[in-house]
Each structure stands twice: as structure tokens, then as C-alpha cells.
Chain A
């Protein structure tokens, strides 16, 4: 076994092994557990950095294990895989620091962090999957690992939300399995390849391929929270804030969106999918989800639930970018995969800070909270403006390239969708900022915890500030060397002739 084979496996092991050890740790071994968590997260980042360096120098990383004759478990590096792996490993470190502070003193931490690590392992596996069957395995592992995190609190509402999540995602997984098997019988391979592997099939199979595409999108759309398959997401908000951050920014929802990118680009090929007329209905579905999610977000008083519906809307920007079948729109969709993750994780961690420090769960309870927690609310403000798409924050560039891509693809109607969506984003985020910064604070907060002269614990405060600064940097330094745009251009260039 050489480095090119070992590195993908090591990246998986960097979170898998700490996860297994953490499961076995007694509850009171806080320091050991924290060291294992952080060491695993840091080691993963170093390994991912090494893989990046290797790819830039022309190395190819692939690990292959035969499951059945003709069916291999494949882990492979590539520009698209690296985009998602980097995002998930980077944000995992931030979320781990946050989770350590958030769960301080709470029960079942070994169980929580064990599943937390497995969850990231599954996400990394989804990212590095070199074929549809490997993707499916890790995709299902992700479902199973996130369920205990959702029901972590053990309340009846949490268990109900967990059941609901499991039913939705298992049905989605079943559809994915069915369509993968069907596809294998037609094509004889499930290997992800640039521009897909189905365009060479006989024209008589095209109607069948269309049906399989619908099944694949339905299966992946559950996790990507496409309407009407989004029902589990707002209910899963009962989970602790780090889990919500993980679900919305790093793992589950992103895995669904990433799967759609894989199917459209590396299974069907964007040009073949477009020639079959599959991309326009997908774009329409994404547009409906964008508007629907924003509208439903408007009506929520509970902060995390509003953010959840915002995710329903924002993740569909990624799908919209892919479905427009234009290189520029794809660029917009891919950078939004990263931008949305960074912005949304900031918002969820801030929401967690408000809940943990002051007992605030509802927007109507946030009057003047900016004066009590200025750093948290400053980070929230940056995240919210990023989501609205205000320049020069990260979200602006996503919308900019999506809009340009829509015009490039001759789909002018998308401009109106983006305009309405931006207005709705402003309508549900700006009232929160107004309430927090400009209304008079109450005499007492719902359940205030004292942290001396600090607004909250540093482990809760530093991660959202870091991600807020990242939101700013991703916008301001969009053209700095080794920038995200260049990397996504590389991905796009492989997908289009």
C-alpha cells in the first residue's frame, strides 16, 4: 500500500478511530475525549491539506476494495471531492470546539461525540466516493449516525423528530438503492466519470434513464430538503445546536446536494442530462423550493426553525446552479455549497449561544440582545447579511454567479426568482437584526447563565466569530491566490465540453 492508496483511507480513519475510542470512554474522561476530538479534527485537516498538495502536484489518490465481482468500494480524490472534503473537515474542527463548550456538563457526551465523529467519517466517505455504490454506503451510514444525534436529548419531541427523519431518509435511501441497481443493470458500471457514463447508451433506453433520474433525485432530494421532501428538516431542530449546525452546514443536507451534483455531472453528465430535458424540471423544482422555504421561514418565531426553513431555501440555490446547465451557474452553485455552509454554521452557533447563555429560543425574546451579547450578534449579523447576499460578503458572489449563469443559459426567469428570494431573505433576517440591535432589552432574560464579565464561554464565542470572519474573507478575498473560484472553475471545466 502506497501513499496514494493510503491517504483516502487515513482521512476516513482520522475521524473513525477517534469516534470508536470515544464510544468506550467513561463520561468523566472529559480531557481525553476533548483531546481525541480535536486531534482527530486537526489530523484530518493536515491529511486533507496533504491531499490538496498532492493533487496540485499531479498525484492521483485512489483506494479500491472489491465488494462483489464488478462492484468496488472506491475512494478517490478529485476537484469536486476535495471541495466537499475540505468544507466538511474545516467546519468539523470549528463545530467540535463549539460542541465541547456547548455540551459541557451534559450527560451522554461519549455517545454524542462518538456518533459525531462517525457522522463526519460518513460525510468524508460521501465526498470521496468514487462510484455510486460507495456513495450509497456512506450516504446510508450518514443517516444511521445522525439519528442518535437528533434524538440525543431523549425527549418525546426529539424521538418523534428522529423517527420522522429516519422514515424520510430511509425511504430516500431505498429509492437511491433501487435506482442505482437499475442503472447498474443498464450500464454495467457505476463509476463516477467526468461528463458521465450514460451518454453512450442506446437511445431506446433514454425514457428509462429519465425515470431513473427522477428516482435518484427523489432519493437525494430527501436529504437536500427539496420540496415536498423537506418535512423532516424543520422538525429535526430539536437536536442540540452543534448537531443542527452539522446537519445544515456540513453533513446531511450538503450530502444530498452533493449527491445531486454527482448524479448530474458524473453519472449522467450535464450535457447529456440537458439533452434529455432533465435539467429544466430540476431547476423549476429548485426555484419552487427556494421561494417556498423563504416564505415558510417568514412565519417562524422560533429562531432555529426559521433558520431551518432558510436552509430549505438556500440549499436549493446549489441545485438551481447545477440544473441551469451553464458553466457560470454551476460555478455559482458550487461556491454556494461552501458559502452556505460557512454562513449557516455561523447562524446556528449564534442561535445556540443565545439559547445556552440567555435561554432565548424565539425571535420575540431577542429584544436588545445585541447589547448583552454584541460579539455573538455581530457574527449573526455578518452571517445574515451573507445569506441575504449583501456585498462584499460571501453570499453576494453565489447570487452574482447564479444570476449571470441564468442569463448565460437563457433562463431569464431565474433572475426574478433570485430577486424575490433576496427580498424574502431580507424580510426574514432583517427583523431579527432590528429586534436584536434596536429594541430595548428586557429587565431579565428567560434563563440567563453567568460567565463573569464575558458574554459567554470562549468555546461558544470563538467558533461563530471565526466562521463570520471566514464569511467576510470569502467575499472580500474572492480573488486571492488559491481562491475558491479558481477551484470551482477547475471542477466546471471538467464537466463541460
Chain B
């Protein structure tokens, strides 16, 4: 009986928020996020460990809950309860207000990542969570937050690619996807160091540790504490959970990778402590978030350096993060409670124009936009003329200009010629082989 109730609750913990994410369903409900949270909250109080496999779903989805993930779920429920109570809902403009839908998708992604028992399910839910989080940042009215969202998008793409590659490598070498067997199997794999480095860089990109913290500090400065709390729970805490689940902690001694994590953790704490003196007292909560993240990263690093130590005390990491989450939720609730009416969020001194990466990207697009659509990109004599030293040499311009005209006029002939060259090269290559 317990098992049936638990399975139903497990599925509805994800299904209900997903269903309520449809605007037509949640717009008429009071506090839809809290309602969506009810199955997950009930699941916390059912003391049965179990896992289910949904063979029809992507690669046999694994979902489950055990004593350790129950800590994470309990923390998530409390943090979501507090966060959703204080997150302001912007007024509808033109009947378009995606914030509640995005928050619910964010919730599904985060809870799904906690309940995932294999890599693909974890990766899928964190992807959903991350894009919903970016959507939340971008729909926020403040330019600073939108900028943070854009930075996070770039980091997320890179992180997801790395984690995807790591996941693929793990599957190819060990043939396992579930966390229980994967970490043991990776220990024996020859490519474990490559796997470790990809996972560590992927996590670092996601969780906003120093020096990749810019998006996080930007968003923290400009949103209300309740939203900052949810941002900590989402990308940051789930990124740390990724570390717990994906790294072979307690199985493999990797002093080098561990040292890197220790260095990152300490630097993040150091950065947070330096920042404390520069912000208003109500924004010091942000520094607490950074210190919490840094401490956990140090824990992960220690686990990689000393597996025996992790085996002895590793489970306390889950209790630690849960306590941390509850503490942060309590602090946030206090700050929101005593928040002055009409007080606006702080803002950073960032230059809010385009990101450097966006400027480079735009310049690249403008450059490429001039190529035209022929098989061969049109050779732009003006590009060459822009090069220092060639600026005055009109002869070059004329030469390239004539060449360009010729290529445009004879595009099909040029294509066939290139084809001929390719075929010849292939034949020569085959002959040489």
C-alpha cells in the first residue's frame, strides 16, 4: 500500500507542477506553486525508500527516493515554500505573464533532478530547470537581471555540452547510466580523469563559483532575496547535487581534481568575504550564498582527495546542504518580512551594455553576413583592404574584386571544380592507404 502511495506521490510530484505550468490551469488558482508542491511535501514524510523505472520513457527513466535524497527533497520543499511566498508576481501586460509557468517548470526541473536515479533523467530535468531559470531572469524587468540571464545562457550551453560528453563517455566505457553503479564502474575506467575534468568544469560553469560567478552576483544584486534564494536552490544547489551524484566520491582518489575543487571553493569563500564589506547589510545574504557554495565545493574536493574520509562522513554532506538550505530560507523569510515597503533591489555598478561575448558574436555575424549564399563564400576584397599594410594597395583590391566577380558568375562551374578536387584528393588518399 505504502509503495503504491509513494509511486503515485513520486509521479505527481513532477506531474502536477508540469500540468499546472499551463497558463489556462494555474491562472484561476490561488498560490499554484504551493499547490504544486504538495505531493513533494507529502513524499518527504513517507519513510519508505524506493525507486521506479519507467521503461517507456527516455532510455528507461529512473526515479526514486532514499534517505539521502529525502534530505534534498525536504530542503527543496522548504525553500520553494518560502521562495514562492515572497516572489513578486508582475502585473499582467497584454495578458502575457509567463513567470508562474516558468517558476513551475523550474520547480519540476529541480525536484526531478533530486528524484533522478540516473544520469539521463538528471540531465534532462536540470536542462529544463536551467532554461526555465534563464526565462525567469530574462522576463525580469531589470536590465541587470536580463544581462545575468544572457551570461548564464552562454555558460549553460558550455556546461551542458561538457556534461553531455561526460555522460556519453561514461556510458560508452561502463555501459551504466544509474548513479549507483556508474561511479563504481568509472573508477575502473581508463578515461576516468577525462571524465572527472569534464564533470568538474561543467559543474563549475553551472554553480557560479569564482571566477565564473558574474551572472550569479549580477542576478543576486538585482532581484529580491526570495528570488535569490530560488536561484541558489536551482542552478547552484542542483549543480552541487550533480557533483555528489556524478563524481566517484569515496570510490576513486583523484588528488589533482580534488585540489582544483579545494582551490575553487576557498577562492569563492574569499571572494564572498571581501564582498561583504562592499554591499548593504540586506545584500549580505548574497555573500552567505557564496560562502555556502564554496564550503560545499571544498567538501567535494576533500572527498576526491581522501575517499576514506568521504566514506566515513560523506552522508553528512546531504544533511549539511539541507540545513544550509533551511537556514538560508529562514534568513530570506526574515529579510522579506522586514523589507521596507517600496524599497527596490540593489544594483551593481556593471556596464549594462552588451556582453563582450555578445559583441564578439555580433561582430562575427556581421562579418559572416557579407558572405552571400554561394557555394563559395564571396571573397571580400574590402576585408583584405582593412588589413594593416594592405590598406593602400588598391592593386590587391582589384585582384580580389575580379576574382570575386568571376566566382559569382561561375558558381556552378566552381562547385564542380571543387568537387573534382575533392574526388581527386579522396582517390589519392585511398591510393596512399
Contact = CB atoms under 8 A, between A and B. Distances in A.
A434 B127 contact: no
28 contacts: A171-B412, A207-B431, A211-B427, A214-B426, A214-B427, A228-B422, A295-B368, A296-B377, A298-B364, A298-B368, A300-B369, A371-B96, A391-B120, A391-B123, A392-B57, A403-B172, A404-B171, A404-B172, A407-B172, A408-B172, A415-B165, A419-B165, A423-B158, A437-B98, A437-B135, A438-B135, A479-B58, A479-B60
Contact of A419 (B96, B131, B161, B374): B161
Interface in A214-271: 214-215, 218, 227-231, 234-235
Interface in B131-177: 131, 135, 138-139, 146, 153, 157-158, 161, 164-165, 168-169, 171-173
A399 B160 CA distance: 13
Contacts of A207: 431
Contact of B58 (A214, A218, A392): A392
Interface in B63-91: none
B4 interface: no
Interface stretch (B227-235, B295-303, B385-393, B413-421): B413-421
A423 B157 contact: yes
Interface stretch (A73-81, A148-156, A277-285, A343-351): A277-285
Interface string B405-433: 00000011001101100110011011101
A120 to B, nearest CB: 28
A393 to B, nearest CB: 9
Q: Is the interface of B mostly helix, strand, loop or mixed?
A: helix
Given A278-B430, A285-B422, A299-B368, A231 B412 contact: yes
Interface stretch (A24-32, A89-97, A109-117, A470-478): A470-478
B357 to A, nearest CB: 10
A474 to B, nearest CB: 10
A443 B398 CA distance: 45
Given A296-B377, A391-B127, A477-B57, 14 more contacts: A168-B412, A171-B416, A235-B373, A281-B429, A299-B371, A391-B120, A403-B164, A419-B165, A426-B157, A437-B135, A437-B138, A479-B55, A479-B57, A479-B59
A299 B139 contact: no
Contacts of A295: 368
A186 B131 CA distance: 57
A339 interface: no
Residue with the highest number of chain B CB atoms closer than 10 Å, among A167, A231, A234: A231
A211 to B, nearest CB: 7
B56 interface: yes
A299 B369 contact: yes
A200 to B, nearest CB: 20
B422 to A, nearest CB: 7
Interface string B296-316: 000000000000000000000
A426 B154 CA distance: 9
Contacts of A230: 375
Interface of A: 164, 167-168, 171, 207, 210-211, 214-215, 218, 227-231, 234-235, 276-278, 281, 285, 295-296, 298-301, 305, 371, 389-392, 396-397, 399-400, 403-404, 407-408, 415, 419, 422-423, 426-427, 430, 434, 437-438, 475-481
Interface residues of B, number: 54
B21 to A, nearest CB: 12
A427 B156 CA distance: 12
Contacts, number: 127
A426 B156 CA distance: 11
Nearest to B431: A207
B374 A231 contact: yes
B165 A476 contact: no
B365 A298 contact: yes
A391 B412 contact: no
A214 B165 CA distance: 33
Contact of A281 (B164, B165, B361, B426): B426
Residue with the highest number of chain A CB atoms closer than 10 Å, among B96, B365, B422, B427: B422
Nearest to A425: B157
B418 A218 contact: no
Nearest to B420: A218
B58 A391 contact: yes
Contact of B56 (A227, A231, A403, A479): A479
A438 B429 contact: no
Contacts of A437: 98, 135, 138
B341 interface: no
A478 B153 contact: no
Interface in B160-204: 161, 164-165, 168-169, 171-173
Contacts of A281: 426, 429-430
A426 B361 CA distance: 13
A481 B127 CA distance: 27
A168 B173 CA distance: 44
B323 interface: no
A419 B57 CA distance: 25
B124 interface: yes
Contacts of B422: 228, 285
Contacts of B94: 371
A164 B139 CA distance: 45
Contacts of A407: 168-169, 172-173
A389 B124 CA distance: 11
Contacts of A229: 375, 415, 419
Contact of A475 (B58, B157, B411, B416): B58
B168 A404 contact: yes
